[in-house]
Amino acid sequence: MSTSRDFGSASESGSDERRRKQQNRFMMAGATASIMLILAVVGVATVQYNSEADESSTSPSDGGLESTSHFRTTSAIQVICSPTDYKSSCESSLSKYVNESSKPKDLVRAAVLAVVDGVSKAFNRSDSIKSDDPEVKAAIADCKEMHQYAVDELAKTLSHIDEHHLKQLPKQIPELKNWLSAVVAYQQTCIDGFPEGKLKSKMQAAMKSAKEITSNALVIVGKISSFLTLIQVAGFSRRLLEEEPAEPAWYVDGNPSWASHGDRRLLQTSATPQFTPNVTVAKDGSGDFTTISGALAKAPKKLLHGRYVIYVKEGVYEETVEVDKNTWNITMYGDGEQKTIVTGSKNFIDGVKTYHTATFAAIGDGFMAVDMAFLNTAGANKHQAVALRVQADRAIFLQCRMEAYQDTLYAHSHRQFYRDCLISGTIDFIFGDASAVFQHCILTVRRPLNNQQNIVLAQGRSVLQESTGFVIHNCRIVAIPALADAKPKFRNYLGRPWQEFSNTVIMESEIGDFIEPEGYTPWEGSFALDTLSYAEYNNKGPGADTSKRVNWAGFKVISQEEASAYTVAPFIQGDDWISKMGAPVRLGLYNE
């Protein structure tokens, strides 16, 4: 990722990012809430059976939200769009996908279909960009790749909506928001790939409408419960509830099918999981493969049941590794983070886009790594050089080491969990737009170049409604001796806002005295200082004193109740998948 002007970095991020308008926030309070509710209910009251229909011809068993034959779409669209930030675009986009024969659930589906259309139009604008500049060509190729990822996420979202009764959808909100939030991350990654100038501004403008439509969909999905309540209050349907369907096919005995029987047994212990490998990687030829990439090439695609386990024996593996989007539910484990090492040196200064500098990229869902190290050895003078990029949903890293300088860990998108890991770097060394929890980890700040400063976190939420953020829970933030003993002292910060709605929480952690008392530093000027969300709770150590923290509107010290919302269970739904993978985890706060 890019850095600001005084850190000696080659920049990939444009100043136009700093000037984006703050999105309007939808707020209800006091009498205003009552008025809005009344207006909404009145609107929904018009969403009814065709008054000319023969009342006696419709039996109760044919009623309900899933079988309504006619309703007035204009009023329904106005109701469902009312809490969005971009009401006009919401209403116009939804009206293309519903008609008088649509069902109420079709309104939710229409919001996602609008994103499909808007995203395709935005990404396709990159096709109109003509340039012989290799950097621009690489950015266009990246946009095509991001578009395909977005298409996949939207297909999952639509499929999930189709597979559930409207009454069940409120329980699916975290899943739906997870996928839609990833779509936003892909949009931003496309923009970030372009060099500064007119072409980047052009791509930024092309994505503006797509981001607004995605924001609308995130609001609508997040307020399904409210929408359903309004319909009930209005007496829209004779029978709101139908038979609950059987467990979805991807669940077995109440557990995700990607968790094998052996994985589910591990629920009984918090110790490091034990594995039986399907294949072994060994540099000395004593295994099935001599490279990790070779083992992944032969792994099953789109594995739904159980897990495919790859054991990587002790050794230094100098290779660029990618667990592609179709390689699901891989468990990869080594002989320890000091013994099984994956290393590379791709970097931005040598002409590689930050996204592609990663030594190891985990994209396929359900990826788990245990007892391994991921390094990028390009060095501080090469600036952006990623050791590990993660965009796999429900990804787990247990007892792993990630080491580089600038941009060590690219927590790109989706839900991620890091436990007992050592992550070290200098500038923005944990960055991205994932929903990630780091628990019981050691975040080690290294000595940067002489003209640089250190920043631990640079979270990249660019749309307020995304469900993304970084949570540092019961971790230690420390400096290596070369940094702590340096004269003159370097300036070190907990975070800065990469994007407008950057979201981080540091709680129940130990913060060293090398961190500046103000804690955080701006990205540039006043950009995002009022819209970011930075919080701290019950930290300890000499750097944990919040009395001199920044006075930005977006920073606050939160209560125990507020902090609880950022624990593993509610924030990344970790109670549904982390323990079932055998990883030790604290679902709530430690001081409850």
Q: Which of 263, 371, 428, 433 is catalytic?
A: 428
Q: What is d(CA 520, CA 98) in angstroms, rounded to the nearest whole number?
A: 47
- Collapsing DSSP states into helix, strand and coil, what is residue 130? coil
Give me the amino acid identity at 545.
D
Q: Which amino acid is at 325?
A: K
Which residues lie below 8 Å from residue 310, measured CB to CB, with a gap of 6+? Answer: 277, 278, 279, 280, 281, 292, 295, 296, 299, 330, 331, 332, 333
Give yes or no: 6 in active site.
no
What is 458-484 written as a DSSP string? EE---STT---EEEEES-EEEE-HHHH
Answer for the pair 370, 315: CB distance below 8 angstroms, yes or no: no
* Backbone dihedral region for residue 254 (phi beyond 0: left; psi -120 to 50: alpha; all else: beta): left
| DSSP secondary structure of 49-91 | S-TTS-GGGS-GGG-STTS-----HHHHHHHHHTTSS-HHHHH
Determine contact, residues 17/211, Cβ cutoff 8 Å: no
Distance CA 153, CA 415 (A): 13
User: What is the bridge-based pairing of β-strands 321-323 and 279-281?
Assistant: unpaired
Residues 6+ apart with CB under 8 A from 555: 519, 520, 532, 534, 535, 549
Assess whether the previous peptide bond of 570 is cis (omega < 30° from 0). Answer: no
For the stretch 266-272, contacts whose Cβ atoms lie closer than 8 Å and that sit 24 or more positions apart, written own/partner, are 266/579, 266/580, 266/581, 266/582, 267/579, 267/580, 267/582, 269/582, 270/584, 270/585, 271/584, 272/370, 272/371, 272/398, 272/399, 272/584
Catalytic residue set = 428
